[in-house]
């Protein structure tokens, strides 16, 4: 049989012998997006209008690295309260990502940007003069949060809940940590991702998610109203949830799991992952697809990522760090903790359990340096001699489809 897979701007064919059976998985697309009437009704029912009553409310929004449908939410809010976008201040919860580019500003605000740009600020995780210490976390580290959280009586945090490969889910508390936190706190949090207990869909028992929740509870966040969205496979607004940050997030997570997670009846010998834009853009990004699907591979099995990686490595930092990585100890050879080391440690650990293969346009030495084994030819994957009991899964849009065991 032939299976067609998206690859860069083309379609390629995967040949699988007819005596083998294949299970297919893909994310859900809703019949219709959440319309304005439904959004307004649910928003008002959650008493969201009380957070618009301030003469100068603050809107906290995600940066351009997230797929949050912020322009749609802003349009709906402005229809509920005409003039809101003409008076509200806006803070971009940039975390450690730094100042947004012009492209990011356009992605975040779309047609609203011209109207709001004079009242937009972004969080700088290195500027402690703009932050306030809120306490000490379980690791003995000071936690600092942007002062805007304390300068406004009414704050609306707009975010989205998608499966995240080490935070469990995006959204909710992520508007605070990493969104508005100091670099050192974010670094402590992200270093917890070296544990594979930090996994997609997992919140309880996930050290990263639990640290985020701990930091949120250091704040009196009753003055923060959450608008938590969920998008579907077509980037439609599939769900919108309102209320305090914790409950709105919990409701969004439940809906997001139904949208993105696909239960599997058993583990597979081979899982083939189709990776779509923008996640197929680089070696750095493709890890999301690996993390989403690797739990469904049998010990000793293989996962095959089909991703052009047309933009190359994607992050020189993690690629250079790999040059001093001790594979046996699974840590940097200099003995130091490096921000972002989880990008290496996790793939190295996964590669001890299963074979991690990558079909891409990259020269072989590049994926090998960061623990992916290059695959030269898809045709070599399956032969007529493979036993008919060999279990195969093909995952569409694997960057957004999570296989749940």
Segment 365-386 mean pLDDT: 93
Output the average pLDDT for the chain: 95
- pLDDT tens column, 336-359: 888 889 999 999 999 999 999 999
Q: Are 226 and 248 in contact (CB under 8 A)?
A: yes
Q: Where are the domains of the chain?
A: 2-27+264-404, 36-260
For residue 29, what pLDDT is reported? Answer: 81
Measuring CA to CA, which residue among 327, 264, 275 is closest to residue 298?
264
Percent of the chain with pLDDT over 70: 100
Helix (H) or strand (E) run with residue 292 in it: helix 287-293
pLDDT band at 242 (very low <50, low <70, confident <90, very high): very high
- pLDDT tens column, 48-65: 999 987 788 999 999 988
- Using CA atoms, how far residue 352 sits from 208, 223, 270, 299, in Å, is 23, 46, 16, 9
Secondary structure of residue 398 in the 3-state scheme: coil
Query: Which fold would CATH assign to domain 36-260?
Result: Rossmann fold (3.40.50)
pTM: 0.92
CATH 1.20.120.450 correct for 2-27+264-404: no
CA distance linking residue 402 with residue 5, whole number of Å: 18
Q: 356 - beta bridge partners?
A: 303
In this model, does residue 219 exceed pLDDT 90?
Answer: yes
For residue 7, what pLDDT is reported? Answer: 94
In this model, does residue 17 exceed pLDDT 80?
Answer: yes
Written as six digits, the tokens of 101 are: 């580019």
In this model, does residue 27 exceed pLDDT 90?
Answer: no
DSSP one-letter code for 35: P
**Residue 203: how many CB atoms within 10 A of its CB?**
18
């Amino acid at each position: 049989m032939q299976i067609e897979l998206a690859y860069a701007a083309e379609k390629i064919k995967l040949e699988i012998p007819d005596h083998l059976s294949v299970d297919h998985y893909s994310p859900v697309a809703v019949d219709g997006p959440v319309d304005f009437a439904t959004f307004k009704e649910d928003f008002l029912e959650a008493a969201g209008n009380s957070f618009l009553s301030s003469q100068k409310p603050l809107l906290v929004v995600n940066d351009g690295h997230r797929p949050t449908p912020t322009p749609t939410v802003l349009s709906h809010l402005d229809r509920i309260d005409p003039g809101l976008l003409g008076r509200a201040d806006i803070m971009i919860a940039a975390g450690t990502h730094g100042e947004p580019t012009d492209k990011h500003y356009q992605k975040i605000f779309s047609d609203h940007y011209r109207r709001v740009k004079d009242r937009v600020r972004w969080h700088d995780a290195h500027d402690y003069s703009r932050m306030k210490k809120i306490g000490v976390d379980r690791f003995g580290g000071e936690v600092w949060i942007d002062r805007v959280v304390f300068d406004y009586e009414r704050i609306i945090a707009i975010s989205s809940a998608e499966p995240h490969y080490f935070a469990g889910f995006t959204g909710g508390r992520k508007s605070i940590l990493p969104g508005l936190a100091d670099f050192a706190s974010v670094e402590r949090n992200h270093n917890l991702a070296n544990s594979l207990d930090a996994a997609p869909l997992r919140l309880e028992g996930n050290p990263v998610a639990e640290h985020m929740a701990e930091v949120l509870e250091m704040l009196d966040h009753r003055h923060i109203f959450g608008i938590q969205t969920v998008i579907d496979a077509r980037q439609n607004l599939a769900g919108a949830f309102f209320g305090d940050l914790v409950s709105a997030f919990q409701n969004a997570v439940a809906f997001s799991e139904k949208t993105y997670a696909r239960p599997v009846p058993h583990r597979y010998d081979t899982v083939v992952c189709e990776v779509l834009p923008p996640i197929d853009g680089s070696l750095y990004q493709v890890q999301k697809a690996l993390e989403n699907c690797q739990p469904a591979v049998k010990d000793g099995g293989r996962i095959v990522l089909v991703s052009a990686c047309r933009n190359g490595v994607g992050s020189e930092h993690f690629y250079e760090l790999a040059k001093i990585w001790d594979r046996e100890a699974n840590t940097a050879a200099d003995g130091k903790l490096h921000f972002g080391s989880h990008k290496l440690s996790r793939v190295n650990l996964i590669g001890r359990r299963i074979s991690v293969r990558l079909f891409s346009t990259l020269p072989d030495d590049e994926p090998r340096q960061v623990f992916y084994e290059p695959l030269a030819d898809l045709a070599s994957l399956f032969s007529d001699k493979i036993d008919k009991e060999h279990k195969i899964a093909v995952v569409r849009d694997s960057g957004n489809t999570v296989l749940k065991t």
